[in-house]
Structure 1
């Protein structure tokens, strides 16, 4: 019988991967800031329409803007943590599902033992 098991994908931090992560975080921040500006613009447009509750429009748009600002703050925190992360460190980047063969007589503890895929600069270096 086969079962599905989740396995973490860990990335070894190198100068190259650190730069890519930083660029991605900055790109995400910029995108979120643009979305906030667009939401403010749409909010002002809707508040000027007749028959629409200004308070309801304000409330709904503020929720979306707040959600994006929270994500901006999280990204800022991730950037700060990235700066202090030493080269050679491992971070969990993702999680994948894998099929594991289970047969009568299989060592259950061995099947449950921590396994991980280790990636360095986009290349799988180890599966343990």
Structure 2
């Protein structure tokens, strides 16, 4: 019988992967900052329009700014944590779906928890 199963993908932290992660986080952070700046610009532009429509829309834009600022704080925290992690640590990158072939007599515990370990983009272990 074939079933779908979630498989955890873990990445071994190396100097190269650490730099790539930091670069991606910084890029995401910069994008959120640009979006905040754009939203602030939109608010200033709206301040010159109809008061009734303006108030609700400005509140919506301010909520969007707050959401992005929370994401920026989370990214800052991730940067801090990444700097503290030693090289060789395993980071959960994502989960993917795999088709698992199960037969009568198979050990269920061996089949259920599967993990793929990647180091610098290369699969180094399947557990």
| Cα displacement (A) at 1:88 | 0.5
For residues 1-128 of structure 1, the aligned pairs below 5 Å read: 1-50=1-50, 52-112=52-112, 114-128=113-127
- CA deviation digits over 1:43-91, x for unaligned, max 9? 2222322264332122101110011000000000000000010001101
Measure, in 2, the Cα distance between the counterparts of 1:17 and 1:43: 39
How many residue pairs get aligned? The number is: 127
- CA deviation digits over 1:102-121, x for unaligned, max 9? 23333323222x21110001
TM-score, normalised with respect to structure 1: 0.92
TM-score, normalised with respect to structure 2: 0.93
- Assess if the C-alpha contact under 8 Å between 2:46 and 2:58 holds in 1: no
| Cα displacement (A) at 1:19 | 0.5
Question: SS in structure 2 opposite 1:54?
Answer: helix
Measure, in 2, the Cα distance between the counterparts of 1:40 and 1:68: 12
Measure, in 2, the Cα distance between the counterparts of 1:126 and 1:29: 32
Consecutive unaligned residues in structure 1, runs of 5 or more: none
Task: Give structure 1 regions of 4+ aligned residues with deviation exceeding 6 angstroms.
Answer: none
Consecutive unaligned residues in structure 2, runs of 5 or more: none
RMSD: 1.3
Measure, in 1, the Cα distance between the counterparts of 2:82 and 2:101: 38
